[in-house]
Amino acid sequence: MSQIIKPIDYTPLLDMRQTEQGIKLIKEFFQANLSTELRLRRVTAPLFVLHGLGINDDLNGVERAVTFPIKDLGDARAEVVHSLAKWKRLTLAEYEIEPGYGIYTDMNAIRADEELDNLHSLYVDQWDWEASIRKEDRTLAFLKNIVERIYSAIRRTEYLVCESYPQIKPFLPEEIHFIHAEELLEMYPDKTPKEREDAICEKYGAVFLIGIGGKLANGEKHDGRAPDYDDWSSMAEDGRKGLNGDILIWYPVLGRSFELSSMGIRVDKESLLRQLEIEGKQEREKLYFHQQLLNDKLPLSIGGGIGQSRLCMVLLHKGHIGEIQASIWPDDMRQKCKEMGMQLI
């Protein structure tokens, strides 16, 4: 059976009817706040893209995409998206979105290789967003400002939930703490990356961890990141590499850190070529997406994904993501969750 985290003294604060109402409340309110905060317009997104164009997000490079043949295209293969990291940038160009404005969409994905637990499901739903920026915006200060605005929208949504359901008490801190993965390694050299995240999140409550994807001083990556969307190799103002990161919180229901968002300033031509070389993926330079970027057909941008089910899970104080979304779970997991008070949809 996949790993199950036992919630601490868990009793659901909402029944299934209230939970469904809470999900609707959160999704409607948060996306309106995100759109206003970052000046984003909603667009329609694909569930699948053609294989071989370099448009799909390959995550850590080992996850298999769900694929199927298309009869009317001579059995050309389509693949269900993992995320829309690259597709969004193509869409910014197609819609001719000016710097300072952007797009967001509902992203639905299937990740067949996901290891199922309280936080990970075969079904992934995110608010995927992307905004056009200027060259001078490709700074750590700009990234931090965007992170703070997203976090403000999250806290406003938490306030609404607690006003609507008084039995739910707020726990997110007023401010989010910024730290680089290299600094985190220096603080906790004997811990694993996950243990480092737990330690720093328990200390500060909410953290933006900068520099995900590049190797650290110990020769290891904090976590993997594809080489062709986030810029994790450029040198920032603080002298450390990385213009991307993750929004993490300390989640008291499970007693662990919890990732809500992965985001960053996207690669420009120079960082794309550098990161493809670092990862030994130079063959991707010939793909459609990469050619568009290398030939100056795409705007500079910043973007990311914010987990919809994850945000609802946190703000409704649920112990398992299956209490928020309908997915497939092993029978023994369902039984174990039921015994712990977690009723999976």
CB of 306 closer than 8 Å to CB of 127:
yes
Cα–Cα distances (Å) from 126 to 12, 267, 308, in that order, read 24, 21, 5
Instruction: Encode 150-170: b = buried (16+ Cβ within 10 Å), e = exposed.
Output: bbebbbebbeebeeebeebee
Catalytic residue among 246, 257, 271, 275: 246
Active-site residue, 262 included: yes
Active-site residue, 111 included: yes
Closest CA to 143 of 260, 234, 59: 234
Active-site residue, 126 included: yes
Catalytic residue among 106, 259, 279, 285: 259
Sort residue 273 into left (φ over 0), alpha (ψ -120 to 50) or beta.
alpha
Catalytic residue among 89, 111, 138, 266: 111
**Residue 73 DSSP symbol:** G
Catalytic residue among 35, 126, 132, 271: 126
Q: Tokens 């008084």 belong to which residue?
A: 166
Active-site residue, 132 included: no
Active-site residue, 18 included: no
CB of 248 closer than 8 Å to CB of 207:
yes
| Calpha distance 88→290 (Å, rounded) | 14
Catalytic residue among 31, 35, 57, 132: 57
**Catalytic residue numbers?**
57, 111, 126, 246, 259, 262
